[in-house]
Amino acid sequence: MSLRAYLAGPDVFLPDALDVGEAKKRICAEHGLDGVFPLDADLGDIVALEADEQAHAVFRACVAHMDSCDLVLVNMTPFRGASMDVGTAVEIGYLHAQGKPVFGYTGVTEDYADRVQDDGMFVELFGLVDNLMVEGPVRSSGARVIRVAPPGDRIIVAMDAFEACVRHAVDVMDAG
């Protein structure tokens, strides 16, 4: 039985999110993992629900997916600002708290400190891709965040970084 990997990240907000999810699941399969994309959830007739009920249904579905997985592959590419997607950061914390390995990747190579605008407040100068509290779970898993700037304008998808992260995760998991 292959390990199930939750594919966390802002990819779900892309106009071609389903295609991106399928491509990432194919890469997982090529490396012996069963990729689980957040949009794989069967939400039934969610449009019949009120907006707040829709939100809670999506939340419950994502939690169920995370609970069913053995590890997480996290797209840590900055989203709508200098930092990664906040919902994805919550997923990192949730899975790390369960003791599940966290593997991260990003489509940017610059450190977080280099991307933050000077606003007179302290900025973490640790050479990390993002806040230490989101990179910490990756390092606690015996891994490192994979940084690969993709060709073209699909930085948020970060397919090359994703595939390198999958290989890295398999290597770390095999080393045990």
Of residues 4 and 176, more confidence is placed in 4
State the pLDDT at residue 164.
97
What is the H or E stretch that residue 166 is in?
Answer: helix 159-175
pLDDT above 80: residue 153: no
Domain boundaries, the chain: 3-175
CATH of domain 3-175: 3.40.50.450
CB-based burial label for 53 (10 Å; 0-12, 13-18, 19+): exposed
- Model pLDDT, residue 13: 96
Summarize the confidence of residues 83-107 as an average pLDDT: 97
Two tokens at 95? 């899975």
Tell me the percentage of the chain whose pLDDT exceeds 70.
99
Q: Identify the band that residue 47 occupies on the pLDDT scale cut at 50, 70 and 90.
A: confident
Residue 143 and residue 103 in contact, taking contact as beta carbons nearer than 8 Å? yes
